[in-house]
A = this chain, B = another copy of it.
Amino acid sequence: MKNINKEYIIRGMGTILTDSREIVIVGCGAGGGTAAQFARKTDRKAKISVFEKNFYPQYSKCGLPYAISGKIPNVMDLIEFSEEWFKKAKIDLHLNTNVEKIDISKKIIYAKKEDKNITKNFNSLIICTGSNPKYPQIKNVSVKGVFTLRTLDDAKKIKSYIKKDMNVTIIGAGLIGLELADSFFKKGLKVTIVEALENILPNNLDKDMAKIISDEIPDKIKVFTNNLATNIEDEEGFIKNVLIKNKETQEERKIKTDLLIVAIGTKPETDLAEKIGCKIGTTDGIIVNEKSQTNIKDVYAVGDCTEYKDYITGKPMSVGLGSVVVRQAIAAGTNAAGGNYVLPKGFLNTFTSEFFSKEIAGTGATSLSMNEDSFVSAKYNGKSLPHYFPGGKKISIKVYADKKTKKIIGAQCIGDKAAQRINTIATAILGNLDVDTFRKLETAYAPSIAPALDAETLVCDILDMKLKSKK
């Protein structure tokens, strides 16, 4: 019983089987891998075991589109922490191992690797089971040539399936759909995008902002918004056509398709968690708090399988962004190992991506998550450099403020350094800044880098006027 700190003795209770804390992590995606890493950082002596049903340790899911495009040369480059790394960190990594059952009263997990049964006791459990891709409600999604992009193996399969001049149809014009559309187009494939809602990027950008991206999509890419996929036609088991139907006009089309990518979102994988009594929220994820704890003592959950809160509205929010997953994982790993890491009261869902030579980014609450009568917004179209300096790039930025408090609550940005500009707005939100204070921010100025008054604050001058005129 040496090397045990006091807190551990209190926490471990009757389940202490060894002389140190035992942490079990289910799933080795960005969530599980990062949680393991921070558990190790927090407790050098803890016994940490990670169980992953697939063949690979932590890799970057967000990098998958770039592995297909070839920007990242080898799909295997996406692996962020190798088996070797886990060995060095003295973390037991069980790949190709399925956790089949959890006995929460005895704190034991039962796993299976091929024919071998593995049981493991734990003091703390971290569930990082991720999510599964959604499919449209149509037949034939199992014919050859239909893919989703969630795993390293998906990327490998798609990459080897691609042939010159193929007709690719992408269902879903979200971030992944557009990243893929851009990649496929650059590879010379013929690309069609089908989106069920009224505009592309419906979960990321307002209509007017999304239009800026629509206008950049090359004419050779066909985009059908407001359209549902209704059927898939095949030839000898291989996809041949996708049938789509306009929701408004009912017009039907047949899209010649050799390769179909379904990118319409995911559903949290919560089977194991539900069986041990974890509460599931309205967005289908495991409800976690600011310490990444579930409602079950000593059970944490992280990532795409969870539900947390929106920072501004407090509404339940499905976790889906890598950035959010990693932060939850830091909290879960640290806390499961006896540390104390408290996340902000909710997530801003700060995101970024780039396609068709445009960087986009956003943060906080916007018209996509709030009622029209609770906020005021302003938009500014500017340049990244002073007008007298050659080479300035376009910036469009829209900032949202709470109508009553005049605090900054969100923003969307397209163009030069959009991600970093949005980080500045995210900081303003975290700092509880009102529009009038933030618009006076002294931004960095040099003719070759940024104008004396930069887009982030200029848009807030407009917003400030609008707020004051609405008194």
Shortest Cβ gap from A173 to chain B (Å)? 17
Which B residues touch A60, using CB under 8 A? 386, 388, 447
Please, how many angstroms separate the alpha-carbon atoms of A323 and B349 in the complex? 31
Q: Taking each of A66, A361, A418, A431, which has the highest tally of chain B beta carbons within 10 Å of its own beta carbon?
A: A431
CB of A359 closer than 8 Å to a CB of B = yes
Could you tell me which residues of chain A, from 98 to 134, have a CB within 8 Å of some CB in chain B? Answer: none
- Asked if A417 CB lies within 8 Å of chain B CBs, one says yes
8 A Cβ contacts from A431-454 to B:
431-433, 437-438, 440-450, 452-454
Name A323's closest neighbour in chain B (CB-CB). B445
Output the nearest chain B residue to A420 by Cβ-Cβ distance.
B420
State whether B72 touches A452 (Cβ < 8 A): no
Partner of A438, one of B30, B73, B427, B440: B427
- Neighbouring B residues of A79 by C-beta, 8 Å: 388
Q: Restricting to A29-82, which residues have a CB under 8 Å from any CB of B?
A: 30, 60, 62-63, 66, 71-73, 77-80
State the Cβ distance, A34 to closest chain B Cβ, in Å: 9
Q: Does A338 contact B (CB under 8 A)?
A: no
Residue A433 contacts which of B386, B430, B452 (CB distance < 8 angstroms)? B430
Known: A359-B449, A430-B431, A431-B431. A444 touches B62 (CB 8 A): no
Report copies per complex: 2
Residues from 149 to 184 in A contacting B, C-beta threshold 8 Å: none
Binary interface encoding of chain A residues 269-295 relative to chain B, with 1 for a CB under 8 A from any of its CBs, else 0: 000000000000000000000000000
**A202 on interface, CB distance cutoff 8 Å:** no
Known contacts A428-B431, A443-B350, A444-B351, A389 near B419 by CB under 8 Å: no
What's the Cα separation between A438 and B428 when bound, in Å? 11
Total residues of chain A contacting the partner, CB 8 A: 68
**Which residue in chain B gives the minimum CB-CB distance to A443?**
B423
Q: Please, how many angstroms separate the alpha-carbon atoms of A324 and B443 in the complex? A: 9
The chain B residue sitting closest to A30, CB to CB, is B452
Determine whether the beta carbon of B420 is less than 8 Å from that of A441.
Answer: no
Contact of A452 among B77, B326, B363, B450 (CB under 8 A): B326
A17 part of interface (Cβ distance < 8 Å): no
B-chain residues with CB within 8 Å of residue A388 when the two chains form the complex: 60, 63, 72, 77-80
Checking B30, B71, B349, B443 against A426 with a beta-carbon cut-off of 8 angstroms, the contacting residue is B443
A65 to B422, CA, bound (A): 30
The answer to the question of A321 belonging to the interface, with a C-beta cut-off of 8 Å to chain B, is yes
**What 0/1 pattern do residues 401 to 418 of A give for CB contact below 8 A with B?**
000000000000000011
B423/A344 in contact, CB under 8 A: no
Q: Once the chains are docked, how many angstroms separate the CA of A424 from the CA of B249?
A: 47
Say whether A265 faces chain B, with CB atoms less than 8 Å apart: no
23 contacts between A and B (CB under 8 A): A60-B447, A63-B386, A66-B447, A73-B390, A323-B452, A343-B440, A344-B440, A348-B442, A351-B444, A353-B446, A354-B446, A354-B448, A417-B420, A419-B444, A420-B421, A422-B444, A424-B427, A426-B442, A426-B443, A426-B444, A427-B427, A427-B433, A431-B433
- Residue numbers of A with Cβ under 8 A of B are 30, 60, 62-63, 66, 71-73, 77-80, 321-324, 326-327, 343-344, 347-354, 359, 361, 363, 386-390, 417-424, 426-428, 430-433, 437-438, 440-450, 452-454, 456
A-B pairs, top 6 by smallest CB distance, nearest first, are A431-B431, A420-B420, A352-B444, A323-B445, A419-B444, A427-B427
